[in-house]
Amino acid sequence: GAVVSQHPSRVICKSGTSVKIECRSLDFQATTMFWYRQFPKKSLMLMATSNEGSKATYEQGVEKDKFLINHASLTLSTLTVTSAHPEDSSFYICSASPPSGSKNEQFFGPGTRLTVL
């Protein structure tokens, strides 16, 4: 299947700093990527839909100024957690769909574990 990568796999930062997470589709072009967050023992929560060349669409309750999303190319979307605080510590996961996939399934990255001290 198609491969989606994330970088970094884990990051520890101090409170108040900003952290950037990259999501790449390695062997296909993705006009749309999705960002999720997951707390321990909880399900994935969709944060936003990232559209190449346009503004992201955020889910209700997700602060767009806090979680900046940029989808500058067909293979790269970035999520920047600005002025991170301990409550932003979470597992962040991205996904993407190949545009011509007959199954229309989404492929997920391995996730990035963010710890804010």
Partner 1 sequence: DAKTTQPPSMDCAEGRAANLPCNHSTISGNEYVYWYRQIHSQGPQYIIHGLKNNETNEMASLIITEDRKSSTLILPHATLRDTAVYYCIVRAHQGGKLIFGQGTELSVKP
CB of 49 to partner 1, least distance (A): 7
Enumerate residues 6+ apart whose C-beta is below 8 A from 64: 48, 56, 58
Establish if 60 lies at the interface with partner 1 (CB under 8 A).
Answer: no
Enumerate residues 6+ apart whose C-beta is below 8 A from 116: 12, 13, 14, 15, 84, 85, 86, 87, 88, 89
Site for partner 1 in 5-34 (CB under 8 A): 6, 32, 34
How many residues of this chain interact with partner 1, rule: CB under 8 A?
25
CB of 95 to partner 1, least distance (A): 7
Establish if 114 lies at the interface with partner 1 (CB under 8 A).
Answer: no
Map residue 79 onto helix, strand or coil. strand
Assess contact for 97 and 32: CB atoms under 8 A: yes
Binding site residues, partner 1, CB under 8 A: 1, 4, 6, 32, 34, 36, 43-46, 49, 91, 93, 95, 97, 103-111, 113
